[in-house]
Structure 1
């Protein structure tokens, strides 16, 4: 049916029966396959459904349910499933499973008797309990007592009747109208028959019948006889054959099964629709979640980029602000300096100019004297350097002598140890002299010679050591004299006119600035530039972050 035209897909409710003829013909001709195996079928119109294989009854219920579906269902689907339902009933009815009833199994004679017997319906039993001398009549007539006693047969209710002619209590338990009730009343009858307390035993009343309780299933003869039991049975029940009851139960079961099948088909249809909508919603939700994740990622990236741009802009603005502040500060200082310069220019008089010229002459004289002092200072520095080098040389000589003395001392100690060792060996040889060994005497002679040689070497080392000690004392005396002379020379050089001074770190010497400004500028402008430079360099020296960079250039 997937190849049908567009006009065929538009079917109205009134055309469903007519349109179903075409798919029915296709099913009958074998163009559409329904039967898969012996007891397995499939729906050719629901290929996309999750469930593909059905039993005969399940597929029939599915087709019937879809054909009778709600008005919102596609009319084409209704027509297709109506044709499938018709095909199953007409062509494949022989493949349906026969209905199964769970009935109590009897022998052949018994089953024929059960079918032909007339029973009181709803199913009822009769229990007779004769009254004995010591029995409590009121207890035996209590329905609750018998309902509890017969509880194993699951009766719905119990009716007690006094039978005057037999002085007995008749109990009539009523059971459910279905096959469960028939099973219960049959079990009751069998239990009493096994005890030989059935209906026949009650009719004969042989032996000690008053000491027994009798029971059986209520049938047509109980219903048609005379007495209070028959009156009650005719009041609450009616006579029906087992076959009629079975047919009615089967019809009810068939109706219930059909109804349940329709409900299951409708539920399956609703479930499939809900499942389809659920899948659509899941796909849509997944798509929305992916879009949301992409938007979140884009938003995070854009936010991060904007933050970085903002940070760079803020940093740039702060740098520009700082630069502008510095420029403004420098401009303010320049303006202050120019204002002071103007004030000074206005205040200067001819007398001040003369004073400046006199001071200039004095400065020239001072500069000439300073030049002479610097020459003398240079010569003094040369002498000091000579003394320092001489002191260093003598100190190195003294250190060399000390090292030589240490080496001589080590050699002396080594010789003393060797002498002691030779003396010990000689003593050992003297003890072995009695052996008259010629080799021993030769060794002793040789060792005596070595001992005399080592003693002479030791004497030479002691003489050398004494000479070196004398030279060391003389060198120390010379070093002390040179040190005293150097200290005396430096003390004489440190006067008011020398350039060697002690100066605090961070203080600015203003004289070089004044001298440089006077060389480059003239008159009042030199003093103004001198003041500006001093102020600027004093602020620079106070800055802890400022570092002095020294560049050395070759000739």
Structure 2
């Protein structure tokens, strides 16, 4: 919104200059120098002369009421320039920004066959009725007072004329005994105005009766303002020239037809744009479906390759187990053969007869040795048998564990595949549902609605299935939370330990999100006196600390970096831009640094958090580094105490 004549805004005008200044501002509003419409799609307005007023979004009637109240204010505190500005705004709203731009659906142009209406007759538009001979009374000082417009308005509404407002006309002598009745700007307003005129004509108090040279007039006289009234050089003629214009019914109908054609053209263009947008969405949906099919095919290939590799590993393990069993059987047979040979040797030695003592002793010695060897071989056989049993047991346990692990892997893979398929199916159903919603206005709307209901039902079933699968992950989430709680407890214990140290080394505590006051001190010191600096720094830092802890203020925007979403500072934030513009780069960087720290280390709580910091490498210290610091400190204290 632009402002003209800004160099004389500080000087006021006199009461006699209000009318001239009002016409000047009205011309600026008509030429677009001042803008009263907002960019919102809900059709709201703003007051260009009250930029500091808290309320900025007005409806048409609210803005008209606000401008009328300020323009007609009798307060001495209100400047004449403000009154003139708002009177010009009232004039612009009533003449150029009609509250009803398009006639209501149930309203119809007045029938040209109506004998009281000539389509080529010139009326004052917006429709205005004239009421004269309003009783007035004169006061001691010579001024006249008459009936209020609001009472007349209520009376006419009760009679079904439905006027918008009734304005009594005043001059330097007071009430002139004349009032203007304003009707709505649509065709219904014209019908009400004509009924208003007919009522007075039937009562012989119409326009002809008023201007007839007859006996003294009594009671109210009324009629609808036309071209001759507009050109009258009297009080209501002057007001009619400022309030409206002269047009015929045919001209108004042609103008309405032009607006309707323009509206139809605009709606046609919008429909074409919507149809083009619908085609683009359908193309994107087909592309997404094609990509989903490719992803599913790739997944099936991966699953087949995984199953083939698993079968190959199982086959190799079974072959190795068979080979081990065969080797053990061979070794067992060899031991049995040796045992049999020793038994035969024993029998042979026992059957031999020793011819002398030395031979007998030698035989006995040989028998004892053979017995010891036999015992050793028996023990070896037992150990081998036990080892064989252990090997078979281990092989069986290994086979059972592999089967359990494989079953668990297949179960988890199946759950993951089901979850991915459900998510892809939900996305596909949502895309199809959006496409069908755009097609609801087509000729086959009933079929589309059935498809929409069917897709919504399928979507609900898929979402329920997805929720069931999500519950399976709850145990892992609970374990992760327990681990995270233990980690947080360990970090808090580390913070408590480091807090007791007076170390000035690389590992120290740091308050994340704390506002650095030094840039504010340097910026304020340049603009204020020395004795005011401390108070101003305290005031500004308190204000920005309050902004930092406010959860409703989140000056961040999301971007994609390396395929991931990342939050960065929004440079277009109004508070940050104002801070940078007014106080420079130093305070701006201090606030941005505090924002980044809070958003990283405590985004939900929005308060200052203490952590252990590695000042040498400029990052958060690990638990290992913190524990190492405490151990080194403990060793130093131990050496000192010893």
Verify same fold: TM over 0.5: no
TM-score of the pair, normalised by structure 1: 0.37
TM-score normalised by length of structure 2 = 0.32
Of structures 1 and 2, the larger Rg is shown by 1
Higher RCO, 1 vs 2 (CA within 8 Å, ≥6 residues apart): 1
